[in-house]
């Protein structure tokens, strides 16, 4: 059966921002989001919103415009129906691998090209900013790589895991069990599949949970490393509960915030006693490392 897709065209930073907001705000069933270049070196990127077979393209566009409103105002959009196929895999098949410190994030087409001594993480079609191409995920991997040069965390939480990249990276680099969670049920399924694909299915436990309130997350605390790659608003709201879950001397790696949101997020965590010790900026997206 045909699948409805809405394509939104915007410069890279705006496209990535639209994709993150769409993941956070849209409640459509079977939604998948892919961010990609339109052509090599073309400044215009494309956000593809795939909504399955139970919605007409015109209804998909109306829903997206109602929710995202000004965020996509002025952007070229195209709503269409495409024939049933492994369309997300096709969209991501041409993505180049990402090298972030010791981590090499790649699709199946690059599984034979993992550099010697790199930690390979194979991620298949899902949310594109969970593949490592987005500045937030790559920033977290780079921050984690720096952290590993001076310490070896033993209790790790990946909050808002998405496709599971950060949890998988921690499990493979540290050879320890890792707890991961996401508020989105489909992301939980995808993260579990990717963990199994990377032979980390037994090491990465993925929970369907909202924030820090899940009893399994609370029981496993305190952590000496917490990843939280979400959005600025939830990061601020979660500051007290994340701070309570980090042991003295532990580290929090935050991302999902733009440069103009950095001050508010940093202030929220400073108020909880967490001190900024590192900062990475990629395409206007900030990754912060904080110490307890």
Residues annotated within the binding site for S-adenosyl-L-methionine are: 137, 160, 182, 229
Known binding-site positions: 137, 160, 182, 229
Question: To 10 degrees, what angle do helices 262-270 and 232-245 make?
Answer: 20
3-state SS assignment for residue 158: strand
DSSP 8-state class, residue 213: -
Q: How far apart are CA 153 and CA 174, in angstroms?
A: 8
Q: How far apart are CA 24 and CA 142, in angstroms?
A: 24
Burial class (CB in 10 A: 0-12, 13-18, 19+), 44: middle
Residue with tokens 């991501």: 92
Q: How far apart are CA 17 and CA 36, in angstroms?
A: 13
């Amino acid at each position: 059966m045909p699948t409805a897709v809405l394509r939104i065209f915007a410069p890279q930073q705006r496209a990535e921002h639209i994709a993150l907001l769409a993941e956070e705000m849209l409640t459509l069933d079977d939604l998948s989001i892919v961010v990609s270049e339109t052509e090599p070196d073309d400044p215009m990127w494309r956000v593809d919103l795939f909504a399955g077979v139970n919605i007409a393209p015109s209804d998909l566009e109306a829903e997206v415009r109602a929710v995202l409103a000004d965020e996509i105002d002025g952007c070229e959009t195209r709503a269409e129906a495409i024939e049933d196929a492994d369309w997300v895999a096709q969209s991501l098949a041409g993505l180049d691998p990402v090298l972030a410190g010791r981590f090499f994030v790649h699709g199946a087409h690059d599984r034979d090209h993992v550099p010697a001594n790199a930690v390979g993480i194979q991620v298949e079609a899902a949310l594109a900013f969970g593949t490592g191409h987005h500045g937030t995920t790559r920033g977290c991997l780079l921050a984690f790589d720096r952290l590993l040069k001076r310490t070896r965390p033993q209790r790790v939480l990946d909050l808002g895991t998405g496709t599971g990249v950060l949890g998988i990276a921690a499990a493979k680099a540290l050879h320890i069990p890792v707890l991961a969670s996401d508020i989105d049920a489909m992301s939980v399924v995808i993260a579990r599949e990717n963990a199994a694909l990377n032979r980390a299915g037994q090491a990465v436990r993925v929970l369907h949970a909202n924030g820090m309130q899940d009893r399994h997350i609370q029981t496993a605390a305190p952590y000496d490393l917490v990843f939280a790659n979400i959005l600025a608003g939830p990061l601020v709201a979660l500051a007290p509960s994340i701070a309570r879950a980090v042991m003295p001397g532990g580290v929090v790696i935050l991302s999902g915030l733009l440069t103009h949101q950095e001050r508010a997020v940093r202030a929220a965590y400073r108020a909880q006693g967490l001190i900024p010790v590192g900062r990475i900026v990629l395409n206007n997206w900030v990754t912060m490392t904080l110490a307890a």
